[in-house]
Structure 1
């Protein structure tokens, strides 16, 4: 049968060649030794270093994805094996391979106070590149939480105090029951601080030899923020959520530092980038803060920091 891909009429090396958005069922770890099946969106590439070859063998990549992504939980070892198989299948054409995997990880979450549980779903992107310099792995996820503005909270407290003083100004002595009744009425909360749904976009590079643990990473981020969004909510849970927000007032800068400190303390993470977005209820625009892993001797205005992590879009030409 004719093979026009081997035609050298259109020759020249290419940075990456492959396929995007291959859908495949696969298993991922969810922590505590458990796994779940997800639908993976796979992008698979190899470079084409031969300047006398027109194209690669894409069916080989697809066959290997179908073979390696199945009932065995996807981990660092499985990723490296698959990338090595990509290169072995194209040993005469390529010396670099890349795989990007996107899926949604569902984690079971307990309500804050009531004895109920629900599911939270988190988007996850895992990318691996194998080349002459070895294996490079990155993991990205997004965590949604609530943020209450500290400045707005202070202004609301000031209004409440002013209303309290005005209401009891004629009283020589204020009884505890009268003060309690006033605080329990709508008059006791004349102003409320503004809060908003907020998002932490986190990108990490695991330390060499370390395995990634997406569930543990999400848990660490949510614990550092203190106000992750909830699933099922009864009245006691909503009250506990309001209490958590009151105890965790934060600007976007505060949130970025919280996550930064939590990830800096994890020796299994070699590098990370954080993008915090507070979708303001006060403004029609968002408040945003970036943070990265602290490194001595590097300026926060360096080019690497300004550009942030590699995009999760089309792959670039670097290893």
Structure 2
């Protein structure tokens, strides 16, 4: 992450600040007549210094240039290159930690200072164009989850009664992230990435931003992303592109199912029913949800003993396909 110094803005804490945000034309400096002394937050490369009002919150980069962790000489992309994985983890860890820390700050329910600090940090990320320059294919693919997590922070604030409709800079930044994602998968992604699990994860991110912004075209793009995945499920429940992952086929079916199920829940909650090929999601779920029996099915189908999926991948078994009668509540889909 590039060194950034001498970037400061003042956050005045007061009741008027917490209930109103600036218009899209305002700078990152926020004022309130009801505020007392300003709390100065210095945004640096790694952290915001700990002060009375705000916890330490890292910054986000504008540019990412990561490379795949998989050995590119193996067509199935199922063998991890340890050195490549470490380099990638080192590059992404500051981004992951920054977003995770801000999500924790946003969830401090009933703490007005945390709410103010969360919004101030989002304003700063928006002003600096965080994550808007993806220099490699892997960086584009990696950004989808980050975008979804950032949208989740905004949705958390909104669910707690924070009106962010006046936060023009944040909203414009979210729109940029969504439109860049759509443009990448529509025109730049490879033939596999634009149709496999990556596309479904991108669909979640775009659907969440569509919900925040009220953007119907984004919601329709996400609905198409669901259809691209669900309509590939064959009569036995397999996804052809994930079967190509050799001894990781079962693992990647779990991963793809989790993305499709979360996307179905998000779209259904926003009124996008029925979904194309939604009945096929049940087939996929029946295939992947039987533990060792599922692993044996994949071993027979691929001719390869399957790697044992991690507990994180197996957690998606608890996420059953949505039913029309279940759409009164969506639950916490971010847990999966």
Which range, TM-score by smaller chain?
under 0.3
Q: State the TM-score, normalizing by the size of structure 2.
A: 0.27
Higher-helix-fraction structure: 2
Q: Which has the higher contact order (CA 8 A, sep 6+)?
A: 1
Look at both structures and tell me which one has the larger radius of gyration over its CA atoms.
1
Higher-strand-fraction structure: 1
Q: State the TM-score, normalizing by the size of structure 1.
A: 0.28
